[in-house]
Amino acid sequence: MNPAIHASRFDGQVAVVTGSATGLGEAIAERFALEGANVACLDNNTIDNASTAALVTKHGGEALDIDCDVRLADSQNDAFNAVIERWGRIDVLVACAGIFVGGAITDIPMERWRDIEATNLTGVMVSNQLAAPHMMAQRSGSIINVASMAAKTSWPNSTEYSATKSGVIGITRSVAMDLGPYGVTVNALCPGNTLTDMVRKVSVEVGAELDMTGEEWLEMRANDTALKRLAAPWEMAGVVAFLASDDARYLTGQSIEVDGGLILS
C-alpha cells in the first residue's frame, strides 16, 4: 500500500465504490477507508466483497457490504437507497465495475456484446444517474468513472472493450457539464495495465494468441511504457483519491491517463 496516506482527508465522507470485490475497486475502497471515509462496497461477487468490507472496517471506516449487479438498474437503485438510508449522503462515487472480453470483429456474439455494454457502459451511466441528485442537493461531490487506456487507443480483438470504455469518457464529459453548476466534479480514470487478477487473466488469453506465456506478455507490455513496469492497484487508488479531494476542485470533465507513459500526449 502507498505509504503517502492523508489520514483525515475524507473524514466523515461517504464513498460508494462499484466493483469493489477485487482489483482496482478493492484498492480504491481501502484507500478511502485509510483516509477516513465510510465506504459502501457494491459488487455481486459476495465472498470477495465481504472481504473488502472487512478491510474497510479494519482501517477504521464504517462499511456497507452490498450485493449489487450493476447490469441491473433496480439492483443499483436498491444499493444507493441503502447508502442513503445508512448515511444520508454520498460524497464520492467511484464507478469501477467492469469486465474485459475480446475477439475479432467477425466473431462478436450479440449476447456477449450486450453483457459488456450492460456492465461497462450502462452500469456506469446508472451509477452516475443515481448519485447525481444527492450531490446536486448537497452542492458538492466527486464522481470518478473508471475507463481505460483502451478508451483512447485500441489493439486487435478489442472492439467491445474499447467501445464501452470510450463511452465511459463520453458519459464523464456530459455529466461534468450537467453537475458543474452544483459544484460537483466528474472525471474519468484511464488506467494502463495494472497487476490485477483481470489483467493476469487477459495476459494468458492474449499471450496464447501471440504464442507467448502470460508472464511474457506482461513483460512486453511493461517494456512498452516509459517507466518499464506495470502498475500496482494502490497507484490507481492514489490518483482516484486525488481526484476526489479538495486539491482537484477545479479539475472536471477530464480523462486522466495513468499508464506509466504508454500513451504520450
Closest CA to 254 of 147, 172, 177: 172
Marked catalytic residue, from 32, 161, 217, 234? 161
161 annotated active-site: yes
Question: What is the separation of C-alpha 5 from the centre of its chain, rounded to a whole number of angstroms?
Answer: 20
Reduce the DSSP state of residue 14 to 3 states and report it.
strand
Give me the numbers of helices (H) and strands (E) for the chain, helices first please: 9, 7
Cα 8–Cα 10–Cα 12 angle in degrees, nearest 5: 100
How far is Cα 24 from Cα 252, in angstroms, rounded to an integer?
Answer: 21
Cα separation of 228 and 208, whole Å?
22
- Residues marked as catalytic: 161
